[in-house]
Amino acid sequence: KDKPASSQLLQGRKVIVTAGGTVERLDPVRYITNDSSGKMGFAIARVARQMGADVRIIAGNTTAAPPEGMAVEQVGSAQDMYEAVMRHWEDCNMLVMAAAVADYRPKEAVPTKLKKQGDTLQLELVKTVDILESLGQRKKQQFLVGFAAETEQLDRYAREKLERKNCDLLVANDVTMEGAGFGTDTNAVHIYDRNGLVEQLPVMSKDEVARRLLAIAAARMDKA
Ligand code: CTP
Ligand code: CA
């Protein structure tokens, strides 16, 4: 049998990509979110499709334009994103968690707009579900790719996260670096596996980061 052309490395693979920031409601008009633009996740989705994959995008709050001609399943909270991923998890071959999932949410989302009262307001926040960690515990054929944005101790935190969440690859970027992180068109990432650093990439377009990442992932999936 012929080997697939290198451009079709993900032919026949079902890939879920999450993108953007989750939205955690406080009341009907207020919420907590973050600066994630969705660009990195959208780039991965676009490139995965170019590589032949059957791609499902699950996105929270984004400011970037989604890849042309691709459907986006829109979600709000971390819990919503978790449920959406779960619906497509069973027969999926790869999950890329590029979304910036909120770590905490308001303890209760009140149904009516909060009224102004005293001089201070205490908000109680509770932990959200860790989507990646929870799926890491139950993965079978699924190849798991996590992301981490760090401002310090990149290597240590990246490796800890990869272990804790049982990822096959973890993509870490130092968001204090020029040309890396939220909202930019470029990124500079370190890619880790269980044994440590796999590749340290210089600043490049997010599309190029996606191509390099997915080439590594595709090669490793084939061994499984
Ligand atoms: N993630 C997730 N669910 C969460 C939080 C994070 O699935 N509730 C995923 C992210 O999508 C990312 C990876 O876990 O792929 C790492 O996210 P990160 O925020 O860096 O890790 P945390 O475990 O939340 O640790 P911290 O924020 O303290 O650095
Ligand atoms: Ca976090």
ipTM: 0.99
- Would you list the DSSP string of 141-204? S-EEEEEEEESS-HHHHHHHHHHHTT-SEEEEEETTSTT-STT-SEE-EEEEETTEEEEE--SE
What is the predicted pLDDT for the residue at 3? 57
What is the predicted pLDDT for the residue at 182? 81
Q: What size, in residues, is the chain?
A: 224
Write the DSSP symbol of residue 17. Answer: E
**39 is an annotated ligand-binding site residue:** no
What is the predicted pLDDT for the residue at 109? 87
Interhelix angle 131-138/78-89, nearest 10 degrees: 30
Section 146-154 average pLDDT: 93
- Identify the CA nearest to 224 among candidates 169, 171, 172: 169
Looking from the CA of residue 78, the nearest atom of ligand 1 is: 8
pLDDT at 224 over 60: no
User: Among 32, 97, 153, which residue has the most ligand 1 atoms within 8 Å of its CB, making it the best to mutate?
Assistant: 97
- pTM beyond 0.80, yes or no: yes
Q: Could you tell me if the CB of 40 is within 6 A of ligand 1? A: no
What is the predicted pLDDT for the residue at 7? 82
Q: Could you tell me if the CB of 56 is within 6 A of ligand 1? A: no
pLDDT tens, 68-112? 999 999 999 999 999 999 999 999 999 999 999 999 999 998 999
What is the predicted pLDDT for the residue at 32? 97
Report the percentage of the chain scoring pLDDT > 70: 96
pLDDT tens, 166-186? 999 999 998 888 888 788 899
Angstrom distance (rounded) from CA 90 to CA 142 = 9
**143 is an annotated ligand-binding site residue:** no
- Identify the CA nearest to 224 among candidates 143, 167, 166: 143
pLDDT tens, 103-145? 999 999 899 999 999 999 999 999 999 999 999 999 999 999 9
